[in-house]
């Protein structure tokens, strides 16, 4: 049963219970006055919110980090996850025989639920993991508010659902697009009286705060995407200007933004995992490889892989082969089915989301075009990065997140059905079975 309201009663679930005092965040408490502060701002810059440019604020892009305290926070988050999910290797580094994956949901489409309600609902639905979004955890607030940061941790522990990664899709979209894309500005919805340059800096500062907040929680994986370089068509290269002007602009904008964020992410031990559609919602692997190399092949600029985001005549497995060969690692993955609607093109020009040519929610649909067994197997191949990070670095099963993006059936029930399907079909897969699946597919 899905819970929507609490009426200030404890939230009791099958995997945990959240007491009344954790149902809402506490009053703020600044990190500067809190023992255990592991990140310190080192200089000041002009406040992007001040049109005059005279006011100063701490610069979130230049910080010092207590490496030992940071490692302690990261280890603490993993220890909490080990207690709930088990470990892939024992103390003697021998395999425990656990399945390769555990499954849960991606929460970006379920922002109507508070964090406590979301996690209790996830546990009641039988999920092992849940990927909260910026609708549920304000990571920028975690950067400065120690009490809120502690609340996020306590809610996860009480719910019985581990905190492993956070989706910050909309903040990435705003960072990339708000200054020059009308639709993005309208969705952002905030009043701003400064220049576009100040607005861009404001959004960059927020993303830097998001990285700092994630580090304070011990979170190492952020799942995000970027928007468009300008008012370009939403779906596909065939409708862009000739000579690749929009593609070049998209690549350059991504480079300029990431070039400023990556050093901070590296310092904080955070992996920035982009879905492959920072330009026009769906784009191809070649663009990501180009910019990744231009940025110097950073090992913390990774992928949040999603099989539905390759709409340019390049199947997901072809793109994955390219990305793997280039050396770009997959660190987080969405699982979803792609269902073609009769009479509608795969590439849709209509901006009405209900008229898109593809739907992505029913994992158990008979008309689906993604082989989930093959998909799960491909993602565990050596060199892909997913198994290496979660099994070896974190000593955890891989968290697989089902995502419901159907504009008609974007409901909790659809997500629950998808996670259940994954648990039944992919859940028993061991790593050797995953490799065997891939080997047989290649042989065939």
Q: How confident is the model at residue 216 (pLDDT cuts 50, 70, 90)?
A: very high
Backbone phi, then psi, for 279, in 5-degree steps?
A: -100, -60
What is the signed CA dihedral for 113, 117, 118, 122, rounded to 10 degrees?
-140
For residue 207, the model assigns a pLDDT of 98
pLDDT at 287: 81
Report the alpha-carbon distance of residue 233 to residue 215 in Å, rounded: 36
Coil vs helix vs strand at 429:
coil
In terms of Cβ atoms closer than 10 Å to its own Cβ (0-12, 13-18, 19+), residue 442 is exposed
- Backbone φ and ψ for 52, nearest 5 degrees, come out as -75, -20
Choice between 268 and 6, residue whose per-residue pLDDT is larger: 268
- Given pLDDT bands bounded at 50, 70 and 90, which one contains residue 227? low
Backbone angles phi, psi at 181, to 5 degrees: -120, 115
pLDDT at 326 over 50: yes
Instruction: Give the residue, 310 or 67, on which the prediction is more confident.
Output: 67
Percentage above 70 pLDDT, the chain: 80
Domain 76-442 has CATH 3.20.20.150: yes
pLDDT, mean of residues 1-17: 78
> Quick check: 415 and 122 in contact, CB under 8 A?
no
Mark 381-417 as b/e (b = at least 16 C-beta within 10 Å).
beebbbbbbbbeebbbbbbbbbbbbbeeebebebbbb
Confidence of residue 238 (pLDDT cuts 50, 70, 90): very low
What pLDDT shows up at residue 417? 87
Lowest-pLDDT choice from 122-126, 147-151, 363-367: 363-367
Q: Considering only CA atoms, which of 160, 157, 161, 156 is closest in space to residue 137?
A: 156
Statement: residue 433 has pLDDT above 70: no
Among candidates 181, 137, 140, 141, which has minimal Cα distance to 161? 137
CB 23 within 8 A of CB 154: no
Cβ atoms of 361 and 337 closer than 8 Å: yes
401, pLDDT greater than 60: yes
Query: What pLDDT is stored for residue 147 in this prediction?
Result: 98
By the 8 A CB rule, do 36 and 58 touch?
A: no
Q: pLDDT class for 282, splitting at 50, 70, 90?
A: very low
* In the predicted structure, residue 361 carries a pLDDT above the cut 90: no
- Whether residue 341 has pLDDT greater than 60: no
The predicted structure's pLDDT at residue 288: 86
What is the pLDDT, as a whole number, of residue 351?
46
With 0.85 as the threshold, say if the pTM is over it.
yes
Q: Kindly indicate the confidence band of residue 8, based on its pLDDT and cuts at 50, 70 and 90.
A: confident
**Low-confidence winner among 13-17, 71-75, 434-438 (lowest mean pLDDT):** 434-438
* Per-chain mean pLDDT for the chain: 85
Residue 280: per-residue pLDDT: 45
């Amino acid at each position: 049963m899905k819970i929507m309201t609490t009426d200030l009663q404890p939230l009791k679930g099958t995997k945990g219970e959240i007491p009344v005092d954790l149902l809402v965040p506490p009053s703020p408490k600044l990190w500067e006055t809190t023992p255990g502060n592991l990140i310190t701002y080192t200089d000041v810059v002009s406040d992007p919110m001040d049109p005059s440019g005279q006011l100063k604020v701490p610069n979130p892009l230049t910080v010092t980090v207590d490496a030992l305290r940071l490692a302690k926070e990261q280890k603490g988050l993993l220890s909490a996850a080990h207690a709930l999910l088990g470990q892939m290797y024992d103390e003697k580094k021998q395999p425990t025989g656990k399945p390769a994956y555990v499954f849960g949901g991606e929460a970006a489409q379920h922002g109507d639920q508070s964090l406590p309600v979301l996690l209790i609902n996830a546990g009641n639905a039988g999920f092992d993991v849940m990927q909260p979004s910026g609708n549920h955890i304000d990571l920028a607030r975690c950067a400065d508010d120690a009490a809120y940061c502690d609340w996020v941790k306590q809610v996860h522990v009480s719910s019985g659902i581990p905190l492993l990664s956070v989706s910050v899709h909309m903040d990435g979209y705003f960072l990339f697009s708000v200054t020059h894309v009308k639709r993005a500005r309208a969705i952002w919805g905030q009043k701003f009286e400064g220049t576009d340059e100040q607005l861009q800096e404001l959004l960059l500062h927020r993303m830097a705060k998001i990285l700092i907040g994630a580090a304070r929680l011990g979170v190492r994986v952020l799942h995000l995407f970027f928007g468009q370089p300008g008012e370009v068509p939403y779906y596909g290269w065939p409708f862009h200007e000739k000579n690749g002007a929009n593609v070049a602009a998209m690549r350059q904008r991504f480079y300029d933004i990431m070039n400023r964020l990556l050093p901070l992410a590296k310092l904080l031990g955070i992996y920035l995992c982009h879905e492959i559609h920072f330009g026009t919602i769906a784009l191809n692997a070649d663009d990501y490889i180009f910019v990744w190399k231009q940025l110097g092949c950073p090992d913390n600029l990774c992928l949040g892989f999603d099989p539905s985001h390759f709409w340019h005549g390049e199947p997901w497995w072809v793109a994955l082969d390219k990305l793997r060969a280039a050396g770009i690692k997959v660190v987080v993955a969405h699982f979803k089915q792609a269902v073609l609607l009769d009479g509608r093109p795969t590439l849709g020009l209509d901006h009405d989301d209900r008229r898109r040519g593809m739907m992505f929610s029913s994992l158990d649909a008979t008309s689906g075009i993604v082989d989930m067994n093959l998909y799960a197997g491909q993602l565990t191949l050596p060199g892909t990065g997913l198994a290496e990070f979660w099994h070896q670095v974190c000593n955890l099963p891989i968290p697989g997140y089902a995502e419901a993006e159907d504009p008609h059936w974007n409901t909790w029930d659809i997500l629950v059905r998808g996670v259940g399907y994954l648990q039944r079909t992919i859940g028993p897969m061991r790593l050797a079975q995953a490799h065997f699946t891939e080997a047989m597919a290649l042989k065939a």
